[in-house]
Amino acid sequence: MFVLDQNKRMSATVVRLVNGGVSLVLTSRDHHLPVVSHWGTVLAPDDDLTDVLTPQFVSDQTERLIECSLVPEEARGWLGTPGLAGHRSGRSSTHAFTVTGVDADDHRATFHASDAGLDLTLTVGLTAEGVVELSAELTNTGDDPFTLDSLTPALRVPLRARELLDFTGRHLRERSPQRHPFAVGTVRRDSRRGRTGLQSTTLMIAGEPGFGFQEGRTWGLHVAWSGNHTHLAERAHGGEQILAGGECLLPGEVVLAPGESYRTPALLYSFGVGLDELSARYHAWLRRQHEARRPAGRRPRPITLNTWEAVYFAHDLDNLVELAEVAAKVGVERFVLDDGWFGSRRDDTAGLGDWEVSADVWPGGLEPLADAVRGLGMEFGLWVEPEMINLDSDLARAHPEWILGPPGRLPLRVRNQHVLNLAHPDAYAHIASRLSDLVARLGISYLKWDHNRDLIEAAGPQGERLVHAQTLAYYRLLDELHERFGDLEIESCASGGGRIDLGVLTRTDRVWASDCNDPLERQEIQRWTGLLLPPEFIGAHVGPARAHTTGRTHSLTFRAGTAVFGHFGIEWDLRSANAGQLERLTAWVARAKELRGLLATGRTVRTADRDGTRVHGVVGDDRAVFAVVQLASSPTYPTGPVTFPGLDPDARWRVTLDELTPAPDLVWAAEPRVLSGRALAEAGLAAPTLYPEHLAIIHLERSES
């Protein structure tokens, strides 16, 4: 529902959007840019906030005048981070926009505004899931160029949000949570790596003190962009506090000629009472994008085997066919050949850019392997890293001018590689045609698309900065491939989980969350990646018993019982597995197939860790699956009850323990019980007492009895 009020007394235009259990009230006074009057739970339609929020006059300082709009302006008293920064050769850098028109329908409002030489269009949507989609478009209507330094729209959040949660990370340990007080000042997270970034924050969340998965109101921002970007939380001296974000533009990257426009990435905001609700809105939003993208429906996520940790660069037809045979026997449905199949790529020093099958390693081409894989009933997928180039490659020798870098020198070499300038039309055309040929010629249904290097000093021949253009070219490449190959699926990988955002995920089908397959690390990585992404988008593989990246050893139950909560796969040389291991792995693959429908439609729920124990699960209408995970040894024992949030409280649920996980000496495990969702959420069940780094899986089925 939306109401557009012209409140004559206050000269205010009020837009009330209500959708998906959320209400957003925007007020524009005296034709100024709109301010958030309310964002959160749904208010009554006749609640009029127009003047009841006007602060008392205290002393005559700037603070009493602040209007903290969707693009906060100095002209309206906002002396924090400006919503718009730009100039005309050092002039015309202050702006005071006047709203010239508002278009609104039930769930969306567009504010048209202008200032001398600039038009600004703000689009605010409130989706069926309750996600606020905010973007801004700036057009230069003046006679001379306008240099845009930043355009970072904002939503004001209530003062009861006193704590912040954001994320950091690194290779092999992506998305580590950080909590801070939401104090006066700025918590600003810029990612200047030319890709979303292993270190970047996928979300900036403000919440009531002590907010948790089910408790406390939370307001979150995600910037849906795969290049340089900013998330910021800022509290001003007047008490106003905002969540703002956008692209993090490099100097001179966007100079608008007369008539030209720049549009920000989508800022996706979610509100929730508890993080689970905030997260569920993002999940539903992304699932809807994918339903629209593939109207025939998303297939169940195929069980995947990736060859990387199985063979690394040691490609050999006989060995890989043997691996494919074992994979098919355990129930794998997609076989992905990782790095090492092309050009001179025998290790990571050479070959990137030469997207031709290596005749040395694959004298008969890739067809014999692809045919064998398909003959075994699996799909064939291939690894590529199209934006990258090794100096030791035919492409670099032929076209050194296609490498990004400042004039006259090369930037730092990372993993022995450099970045190809996709904003160069010939480089773009070359890569686009190589990829299309490969997909068409080999009948590839899946690309694992990697990106292993930050864009350091990404510049063109005149030294012009090109991260913005590179990001747009990357999106265009993905869009064109989808246009041509409608069924092609793409995995977004970047040194593990370095390109995870909802810009790329509207164009790709899953992410590689991390190069770390250690299930203990994965419990963390998947939990926090899963705040933004639904589980079926998060690639999760069972590795060998001893993890290659940490040296820890884990049971198959812990490895598989962790991977089963994502897009399940295997990354293990199964030729070395014994008969017992293969038998148990086959059972886990079958379990993943049984659960994947629930995972792809259900709602993810979590509990806070207690004494080394964690519970997380996925709840559907008629069934649910939970894991009770013992992360570390507990200072007390036995473990005590654990609770199961998110179930319909009035329904009754039959509880059973998964036979693939250890059978504890517990009454409810011996004789399955039926309990209400309320009892399970409030009183819970005595937890199985587990060794550290072990887990149990519990199934719940709606019961009539």
Residue with tokens 């009531």: 208
Shortest distance in whole angstroms from residue 202 CB to ligand DGJ:
17
Which residue's CB is nearer to ligand DGJ, number 171 or number 575?
171
Among residues 140 and 452, whose Cβ is nearest to ligand DGJ? 452
State how far the Cα of 332 lies from the Cα of 570, in Å rounded to an integer. 8
Nearest to ligand DGJ of 139, 562 (CB atom): 562
Distance CA 84, CA 33 (A): 12
CB of 538 to ligand DGJ, least distance (A): 14
Q: Which residue is nearest to ligand DGJ (CB)?
A: 339
Q: Which of 379, 392, 450, 501 binds ligand DGJ (CB under 6 A)?
A: 450
Distance CA 286, CA 283 (A): 5
Cβ distance 514 to 521 under 8 Å? yes
d(CA 279, CA 568): 21
Three-class DSSP category at 394: helix
Q: Which of 230, 495, 557, 639 binds ligand DGJ (CB under 6 A)?
A: 495
| Helical pair 467-484 and 425-442, crossing angle rounded to 10 deg | 30
Catalytic residue among 450, 509, 573, 658: 450
Shortest distance, position 494 Cβ to ligand DGJ, whole Å: 7
Q: Which of 115, 338, 501, 515 is catalytic?
A: 515
Report if residue 393 touches ligand DGJ, rule: CB under 6 A.
no
Among 163, 208, 247, 338, binds ligand DGJ (CB under 6 A): 338
Residue 284 CB partners (closer than 8 Å, separation 6+)? 128, 129
Cis before 635? omega within 30: no
Angstrom CA distances, 605 to 5, 128, 219, 251, 299, stand at: 39, 20, 18, 43, 24
Verify whether residue 338 is a known catalytic residue: no
CB of 351 to ligand DGJ, least distance (A): 11
Q: Does residue 417 bind ligand DGJ (CB under 6 A)?
A: no
Kindly tell me the burial class for residue 630, based on how many C-beta atoms sit within 10 Å of its own C-beta (0-12, 13-18, 19 or more): buried
3-state class of 516 per DSSP? coil
The reply on whether position 496 binds ligand DGJ by CB under 6 A is yes
Q: How many residues bind ligand DGJ (CB under 6 A)?
A: 11
Q: Is 506 exposed, middle or buried (0-12, 13-18, 19+ CB in 10 A)?
A: middle
Q: Is 677 in the site for ligand DGJ (CB under 6 A)?
A: no
Decide if residue 452 touches ligand DGJ (CB under 6 A).
yes
Residue type, 221: L
Q: Is 304 in the site for ligand DGJ (CB under 6 A)?
A: no
Place of tokens 């026997």: 329
Q: Pick from 97, 111, 355, 383: which binds ligand DGJ (CB under 6 A)?
A: 383
DSSP string, 60-88: SSGGGG---BSS--GGGT--SS-SEEEEB
**CB 168, CB 199: distance < 8 Å:** yes
Shorter beta-carbon distance to ligand DGJ: residue 383 or 428? 383
Residue 276 in tokens: 């689970």
State the nearest-atom distance from the C-beta of 194 to ligand DGJ, in Å: 16
Q: Establish if 474 lies at the interface with ligand DGJ (CB under 6 A).
A: no
Of 104-112, 399-407, 493-501, 591-599, the segment contacting ligand DGJ by CB under 6 A is 493-501
Quick one: which of 379, 489, 509, 515 contacts ligand DGJ (CB under 6 A)? 515
Please name the residue ranges forming H helices in 421-573: 425-442, 467-484, 519-532, 556-563
Residue 512 binding ligand DGJ, by CB under 6 A: yes
Catalytic residue status for 30: no
Q: How far is the CB of 313 from ligand DGJ (least distance, A)?
A: 8
Quick one: which segment of 116-124, 238-246, 264-272, 491-499 binds ligand DGJ (CB under 6 A)?
491-499
Is 234 an interacting residue with respect to ligand DGJ (CB under 6 A)?
no
Catalytic positions are 450, 515
- Contact residues for ligand DGJ, defined by CB under 6 A: 308, 338-339, 383, 450, 452, 493, 495-496, 512, 515
